[in-house]
Structure 1
Amino acid sequence: MNTLNVGIIGCGNISGIYLQNIPAYNGLSLRACADMKPEAAQAQASRHGIQALSVDELLARDDIDLIVNLTIPSAHFGVSLAALSAGKHVFSEKPLAVDFAQGRRLVDEAEARGLHLGCAPDTFLGGGGRLARKLVDDGTVGRILSGTAFLMSHGMEHWHPDPTFFFKPGGGPILDMAPYYLSTLVNLTGPVKRVVAMSSIGFAERIVTSDSPRKGERITVETPTSVMALLEFVSGAQVTFCMSWDVWKHGHPAIELYGSEGSLRVPDPNFFGGAVEFTDAGGEWQAADSGGMPLGVPNWRSPNWAPDAPPRANYRALGLADLASSVLRGTPHRSSGRLGLHVLEVMHSILESAATGQPIAITTALDRPASLADADAAALWNGLPREASAA
């Protein structure tokens, strides 16, 4: 076998980029999709030339090796467990599960069955993430001592067609957005040891302003929308970590790391490319762009962006190709279920610390993901027949 046959469960907003990118990766063959709304599955199947099935039909197919779970977060556990129970490898959108105990069960189930379990985000494997990792590993800024990570915006209601779940338990900027930042930080500095946090709800109600059937609807906010935390890593590094959907505008870089020999600015971890900036001690910032690197070339524009906004690198499904390579060729599995579980525990611990006012020790342990060489990244990618869109 040199290819894994792929089936997607969940044909909502995020599915378009996966459906478009999967055929561009070596080791993956896109076969079918399913959704609780048959019309959604049929629409995507027709668009991408694959079969539309029910969830049960898809899980029963002997010729499907890998299930991609793109359902809403509250459904991640049930769908992933059903897929593992059916003998399928699984790659889940983040978070691995809403509940930490459920996430642990998924990891245990996959390992007991000898199956691979992967979890988004895989953005740290893109050109920008790999470039930042190389600079850290080469000692360019020395030992990482401290840092900052910021996600600041005013939520999702202005662009997402159905944003209600973002503001309910299981949503919020921690469970929805923190995985990108935490996975990047773990990739660069190793696992988290302890957290302490505070949180708040900035606006008790949100009004949907996106151009969708739900425009004008009011959403009661039931989960923290601003969370400020301090992360202590096993390495000794301490990082200020702020995630908020209560901010109209800010000037913070996404991630800055401060080392014993210099400082490092990491590209936006929501994407796969971007420029890395670094200093030599107190010198001027120097920029290194990943735009010419494998899986760092800008290839995508959101329809929600201003017309003059430049394209960004969006190579979602890279984690699937990494998983497939691990299954087929025994290469390291980087965006793994164990990484997803560690990130999930850190997120829940941040929320628990904010609720109790107490520091929380992290119990899951793991090594940094293996680095991905440029040549190996290039070998995973087969190229797109057209520029990607958000369809």
Structure 2
Amino acid sequence: MDKINIGIIGCGNISGIYLTNLTQIFANTRVVACSDLDLDRAAAAAEQYGIPHVLGTSELLAREDIQIVVNLTTPKQHYEVSKQALLAGKHVYVEKPLTLSLEEGKALVQLAKEKGLMLGCAPDTFLGAGLQLCRKLIDDGYIGRPVAATAFMACHGHESWHPAPEFYYQGGGGPMFDMGPYYLTALASLLGPAKTVCGMTASAYEERTITSAPKFGQKIPVEVPTHVAGTILYQNGAVATMITSFDVWSSKLPRIEIYGTGGTLYVPDPNTFGGPVLLQPAGRKEALEIPMIHAYDENSRGIAVADMARSLITGDTHRANGELALHVLELMHAFHTSADSAQYVQLQTSCDRPAPLAPGLVKGYLDPA
């Protein structure tokens, strides 16, 4: 199989699973260089994963043999690094969110279009076995016509475990921008694009106290809403109720449920790739656990990079594309804009539902044998 050469920019915590999968699992990717502001950290990653070149960002972008740049920098750097890579003629895949501001997101999508380049964005968990099974059950009519959904992410924030949790409570942070991409991307795959958003926001605390090492006891001022709730009207007529919160100590709320005219679908955690997937047809007292029929039920981050590599060879549309990421970005902003203005927000972007993956794929491949 043809391999597409990858360059990684950003060798922080999230890079490990990408490097594992892009160097060891997917048959069509080859990581040839990595870069980080801390070149020692990049060198350590290169040694661990057998990457031949450790380079500065400008050197990596100048290499003619690199076709896709995977941008794993912090969210505040997403726009500038992705823009530089596109201007250097590289296809780009960036960790979520696409950018912090909607205007910058639109600019990246437009630049990629002008350059004839692909732009992709995490999360790619919707390509995992669990959410792909949910997609097939909906498409095959097992719950009839989807009419409503719920999506809930409730926790008490990250200062009890994260070594540097400050950015979760600064501009561009908060529960919607941290975890919303997983839920909203999953819903876009299952229900399609959205039309209208109504949101409300609140914050339970003016400051947080870090209880994790190495910053135990440090105070964090809370600059963004930490409880975001609202509703989404989808173009297909379905209405979703959503909560993302850092203000909840404990909860028994489900992750995602889809309600149809013929039954209910219990969707697994969209921050994971597996199950369980439960289906409760209309009139049945108990739900059925549906066996997995798709590949990629383990942590497969980077699968969308492999899908982009596949598209470079086949010429068709990659699934975690810029239009999808931009639509999700607008949705996240819309909750806050609606809350601030006390008005509905009519969305200006849209996207196609990403094509489903075929059941029964061989691990490491994205097309049937």
TM-score by length of 1: 0.90
Distance in structure 2 (CA, Å) of the matches to 1:195 and 1:318: 30
Q: 1:195 to 1:242 in 2, by over 3 A?
A: same
Distance in structure 2 (CA, Å) of the matches to 1:146 and 1:159: 35
Aligned pair partner of 1:351 in 325, 333, 336? 336
Residue identity in the other structure for 2:328? V
Q: CA deviation at 1:333?
A: 1.0
Verify the 8 A CA contact 1:125 1:372 in the aligned structure 2.
yes
Percent of pairs with identical residues: 47
Residue identity in the other structure for 2:313? L
Verify the 8 A CA contact 2:324 2:350 in the aligned structure 1.
no
1:385 maps to none
Verify the 8 A CA contact 1:26 1:381 in the aligned structure 2.
no
> For residues 72-111 of structure 1, what are the structure 2 equivalents within 5 Å?
72-111=74-113
Verify the 8 A CA contact 1:278 1:286 in the aligned structure 2.
yes
Q: Deviations over 1:71-100 (max 9, x none)?
A: 111110000000000011100001100011
Residue identity in the other structure for 1:172? G
Q: Is 1:32 matched up with 2:25?
A: no
Q: CA deviation at 1:207?
A: 2.0
Q: Is 1:160 matched up with 2:145?
A: no
What is the Cα-based RMSD across aligned positions, in Å? 1.6
2:61 maps to 59
Q: 1:337 to 1:166 in 2, by over 3 A?
A: same
Verify the 8 A CA contact 1:194 1:360 in the aligned structure 2.
yes
1:250 maps to 251
Aligned pair partner of 2:146 in 140, 144, 158? 144
Q: Is 1:176 matched up with 2:178?
A: yes
1:11 maps to 11
Tell me, what secondary structure is at the counterpart of 2:93? strand
Distance in structure 1 (CA, Å) of the matches to 2:215 and 2:89: 38
Aligned pair partner of 1:117 in 92, 108, 119? 119
1:21 maps to 21
Distance in structure 2 (CA, Å) of the matches to 1:90 and 1:260: 40
Verify the 8 A CA contact 2:146 2:258 in the aligned structure 1.
yes
1:366 maps to 351
Q: CA deviation at 1:330?
A: 2.3
Q: Which runs of 5+ in 1 are unaligned?
A: 297-312, 383-391
Verify the 8 A CA contact 2:357 2:366 in the aligned structure 1.
no
Residue identity in the other structure for 2:232? L
Q: CA deviation at 1:376?
A: 4.8
Verify the 8 A CA contact 1:295 1:377 in the aligned structure 2.
no
Distance in structure 2 (CA, Å) of the matches to 1:375 and 1:102: 38
Q: Deviations over 1:6-41 (max 9, x none)?
A: 111111121111111111112110112111222322
Tell me, what secondary structure is at the counterpart of 2:92? strand
Q: CA deviation at 1:331?
A: 3.7
Q: Which runs of 5+ in 2 are unaligned?
A: none
Residue identity in the other structure for 2:211? T
1:236 maps to 237
Q: CA deviation at 1:375?
A: 4.1
Distance in structure 1 (CA, Å) of the matches to 2:227 and 2:130: 27
Verify the 8 A CA contact 1:7 1:64 in the aligned structure 2.
yes
When structure 1 is superposed on structure 2, of 178-187 and 12-21 the one drifting more is 12-21
Number of aligned positions between the proteins: 364
Q: CA deviation at 1:193?
A: 0.2
Verify the 8 A CA contact 2:82 2:94 in the aligned structure 1.
yes
Q: Deviations over 1:223-269 (max 9, x none)?
A: 11100010000000001010001111100110011100101110100
Aligned pair partner of 1:196 in 195, 198, 206? 198
Distance in structure 1 (CA, Å) of the matches to 2:80 and 2:361: 33
Aligned pair partner of 2:323 in 338, 350, 363? 338
Tell me, what secondary structure is at the counterpart of 1:151? strand
Verify the 8 A CA contact 2:294 2:361 in the aligned structure 1.
no
Q: Deviations over 1:180-201 (max 9, x none)?
A: 0001101011101000010011
Distance in structure 2 (CA, Å) of the matches to 1:222 and 1:289: 44
Tell me, what secondary structure is at the counterpart of 1:374? coil
1:2 maps to 2
